[in-house]
Structure 1
Amino acid sequence: MPHVLVLVDHDGERVHKSTHELMAAARRLGDPAAVVVGTPGTAARLAESLARYGATTVHAAESTDAAEYLATPAVDALQLAVREVSPAAVLVSATADGNEVAGRLAARLDAGLLIDAVDLDSSGVATQIVFGGSYTVRSQVTRGVPVITVRPGAFEPEEHPGQAVRRTLALPAADPAASARVTARRSAPAGDRPGLTEASVVVSGGRGVGGADGFKVVEELADALGGAVGASRAAVDAGYYPHQFQVGQTGKSVSPQLYVALGISGAIQHLAGMQTSKTIVAVNKDPEAPILGLADYAVVGDLFAVAPQLTQEVTARRTAG
């Protein structure tokens, strides 16, 4: 079977869930071949996890300055891997960084590019949600090696244990004049909750939460469910919650197993970022709120009465179980 290159998202020590999802997508087209870009030793630390989820080959693109430049080392590594194995496709996570890498790679390869796919069939036809969630389209690359970014959460990770062959890609020296270099790093505040794009459960609050203090009920329900906290653009613009938690067309796109929307009306901008969630639960006091029509389960009521009851019930069942 042909190889399908998968760019590995990682933190240097562990493989992100989004990469395991890409492995599942890649198996529809061929044999997943992981491309690890990092400092020396990174691929060795990640190889076991990659092999467990189906990587038949691990291409190690390592250099001491790989982490010091944005996008360019990943583009270089994928270009080298394409030349070496002539893959059926290249898959990348549809994050801000991933979309940039994919776009630059497609330009270098003079190849077709598909962004933010939510499904992919065995013939390479991708399903996308476009125009702010108004349309679902099916697209296929007709020129060169298909470069496709896949929305995190669109595929379920599937363990597929095997042995992965290790190969080395010699990264060229980065050209400082043509590459964006990292000059400083600042750690973002982090808690015990999973990241938005990796969480299987997301609980989001909107303008109906009423203020920053109102997000406490959102956080409590998210913690009870073991999920991540999100926010609508209206809530973020009003200063209720930090921008990095925004879900929507101008925020992060998510596709969890369960999405709970509290006090979110359902503007197109927000729906575009979460409507592919497997199960959607919406709580809103306005019976005409658009999101209630999209939800699998809709509750017309005061979120400050409904959400605490949900939290209490979830906590009780977890304790009993």
Structure 2
Amino acid sequence: MTSLVIAEHDNASIKGATLNTVTAAAACGGDVHVLVAGHNAGEAAKAAAAIAGVAKVIHADAAYLEHGLAENMAAQVLAIASNYSHILFPATASGKNIAPRVAAKLDVGQISDITKVDAADTFERPIYAGNAIATVQSMDATKVITVRTTGFDPAAATGGSASVETAEAVADSGKTTFVGSEIAKSDRPELTAAKVIVSGGRALGSSEKFDEVMTPLADKLGAALGASRAAVDAGYAPNDWQVGQTGKIVAPQLYIACGISGAIQHLAGMKDSKVIVAINKDPEAPIFSVADYGLEADLFVAVPELVKSL
């Protein structure tokens, strides 16, 4: 029984979500192999080989694999899928794009967003926006799984000494072409990897107030900025800051929610945070039910005072 983890990388280094997925793969039992498919991705393959618990790295290199287009990535996975009992992807935008294609071609059911491995064929995953946990058993010969990375500790990025095997890249599918990307650049930590997150809600009232009140607090704490869906929909914050079921799933060491009522949609994305601090003037706000520390106060007064104290 051997598991295959599909690495997320930038062709030079391995992304953090891969480390969590390796931990999930190890829990399935047997050896863990990692597929690094990219272009000039030798450094990423070396980084994957150094991950603790990885037995082998399979490196496929071709120009048309550089950007991880789903059609080509799925074909690359399928070329070696018969060697594995479990194929695991991080439950990121990329993983969710590739995994269903692989599952469909293998004619197996996909097991999505797992948070725990109970046995080699039994997994736990949240349903109903995290209000219930489903235990899923799969009888398929090959398990195709996406892993909610907040559910597993990351494997150590160093200490491993896996071998690197070169695999022949599959032919370009020709179905899609990478045209370009517009990547938001920020000096702040990436939201899903940040240890501290400061989030604002609709109560801030405008994008100007959002920036005026939330930015100084984030600067003081070296935190990433997040937002509720309501704040994003109202145009107070950019879309890539959204935390929640339809945004990003986060689990930082500290999550500070300012003016966020705590709708189920938002709670599903942040309730696994280690320490949750809520600032809201509504004593009935649902956010207080998950908060470790709650401050019933006007955020326009409380947050500036907090910044001064820091």
Compute the TM-score of the two structures, normalised by the length of structure 1: 0.88
Range with greater deviation from structure 2 (167-176 or 242-251): 167-176
Q: Which residue of 2 aligns with 1:262?
A: 258
Say if 1:81 and 1:169, in contact at 8 Å, map to a contact too: no
* Percent identity between the two aligned chains: 40
Q: Which residue of 1 aligns with 2:55?
A: 56
Say if 2:49 and 2:160, in contact at 8 Å, map to a contact too: no
Q: Which residue of 2 aligns with 1:66?
A: 65
Alignment deviations for residues 155-185 of structure 1 (CA, whole Å, 9 cap, x no partner): 2223262211112222221222xx32212x1
User: Which of 112, 115, 118 is equivalent to 1:118?
Assistant: 115
What is the distance in 1 between the residues matched to 2:260 and 2:269? 13
Q: Which residue of 2 aligns with 1:210?
A: 205
CA-CA distance at 1:313 after TM superposition:
4.3
CA-CA distance at 1:152 after TM superposition:
2.9
Alignment deviations for residues 231-286 of structure 1 (CA, whole Å, 9 cap, x no partner): 11110111101111111122222222322211110112212222222322211110
Say if 2:200 and 2:226, in contact at 8 Å, map to a contact too: yes
What is the distance in 1 between the residues matched to 2:45 and 2:306? 38
Alignment deviations for residues 276-321 of structure 1 (CA, whole Å, 9 cap, x no partner): 223222111100011111212221112223323444444xxxxxxx
Q: Which residue of 2 aligns with 1:34?
A: 34
Q: Which amino acid aligns with 2:166?
A: T
Alignment deviations for residues 124-180 of structure 1 (CA, whole Å, 9 cap, x no partner): 43222212233222223221211111123322223262211112222221222xx32
Q: Which residue of 1 aligns with 2:24?
A: 25
Q: How does 1:228-307 map to 2 (within 5 A)?
A: 228-307=224-303
Q: How does 1:179-218 map to 2 (within 5 A)?
A: 179-183=175-179, 185-216=180-211, 217-218=213-214
SS at match of 1:80: helix
What is the distance in 2 between the residues matched to 1:125 and 1:278? 26
What is the distance in 2 between the residues matched to 1:191 and 1:126? 36
Range with greater deviation from structure 2 (41-50 or 273-282): 41-50
Say if 2:10 and 2:44, in contact at 8 Å, map to a contact too: no
Number of aligned residue pairs: give it. 307
Structure 2 unaligned segments of length 5 or more: list them.
none
CA-CA distance at 1:107 after TM superposition:
0.7
SS at match of 1:197: helix
Distance 1:36-1:69 versus aligned 2 partners, 3 A rule: closer
Q: Which residue of 1 aligns with 2:101?
A: 104
Say if 2:72 and 2:173, in contact at 8 Å, map to a contact too: no
Structure 1 unaligned segments of length 5 or more: list them.
315-321
Say if 1:68 and 1:181, in contact at 8 Å, map to a contact too: no
Say if 2:114 and 2:148, in contact at 8 Å, map to a contact too: yes
What is the distance in 2 between the residues matched to 1:199 and 1:139? 30
What is the distance in 2 between the residues matched to 1:233 and 1:46? 37
1:173 matched to 2:171? The reply is: yes
SS at match of 1:27: helix
SS at match of 2:287: helix
Say if 1:69 and 1:181, in contact at 8 Å, map to a contact too: no
Distance 1:219-1:139 versus aligned 2 partners, 3 A rule: farther
What is the distance in 1 between the residues matched to 2:307 and 2:3? 43
SS at match of 2:42: helix
Compute the TM-score of the two structures, normalised by the length of structure 2: 0.91
Distance 1:5-1:43 versus aligned 2 partners, 3 A rule: farther
